[in-house]
Amino acid sequence: MMSTYEPIKLCKDCRWAALEEQDGAMTWLCTHRSGRFRPLPDYVTGKPVEVVQLPCKWARSDSERCGQEGKYWEPR
């Protein structure tokens, strides 16, 4: 019997993944534009908010970003 499953795409093989240190641990970050997270503005102090690049595991778990299927995933 033939298996018709597709192999799982690993974030480390994606050309958008970047290995960076965060809080003392190495983390794969999604550098694709869909991986940017802009928090709500601070209405109390008026300070600008910093845009954050999401870790790959968060981008892959969000269907509006990369998603489980890795829709922005491209091989290196």
Residue 65 · residue 59 · CB < 8 Å: yes
Residue 11 · residue 29 · CB < 8 Å: no
User: Is residue 3's pLDDT more than 60?
Assistant: no
User: Is residue 4's pLDDT more than 70?
Assistant: no
Q: What is the pLDDT at residue 5?
A: 62
pTM metric for this prediction: 0.66
Query: Residue 42's beta-bridge partner residues?
Result: none
**What are 12-25's pLDDT values in tens digits?**
788 888 888 878 88
**Ranges of each domain in the chain:** 11-61
* 30 contact partners, CB below 8 Å, separation of at least 6: 11, 16, 17, 53, 54, 55, 56, 58, 59, 65, 66, 72
In the chain, the percentage of residues whose pLDDT exceeds 90 is: 0
The larger pLDDT score, comparing residue 7 to residue 36, is at 36
